[in-house]
Amino acid sequence: TQLLEQSPQFLSIQEGENLTVYCNSSSVFSSLQWYRQEPGEGPVLLVTVVTGGEVKKLKRLTFQFGDARKDSSLHITAAQPGDTGLYLCAGASNFGNEKLTFGTGTRLTIIP
């Protein structure tokens, strides 16, 4: 069974601070996706990473896929209250044919 552990589980920081969320597994994934979910809504896709070592930036968010494609990180610079939400990583071993394995989730709260 593939497991994706996210850390921290909960994070509450002041506006303007930086933070990193980690997504770790002992399994290799062919691709990994990051989602953000706000209360009352479904998860919204932020990014997909597919190459070991790949780094993608989305404004103040930086996503990295581990060299061995077993882990990923999400770094937020100068966090804003709008970044508040549940962050989920999700990995696929063979994305065309297999279901996603979702991480345990990180609930982020940015305090104004």
Which residues contact other proteins (rule: CB under 8 A)?
Answer: 31, 33, 35, 39-45, 48, 50, 86, 88, 90, 92, 95-96, 99-100, 102-105, 107
Q: Are 29 and 69 in contact (CB under 8 A)?
A: yes
Smallest gap from residue 33 Cβ to other proteins (A): 7
Please, which residue, 11 or 86, has the CB nearer to other proteins?
A: 86
Name the minimum Å distance from CB 95 to other proteins.
5
The smaller minimum CB distance to other proteins, of residues 78 and 92, is found at 92
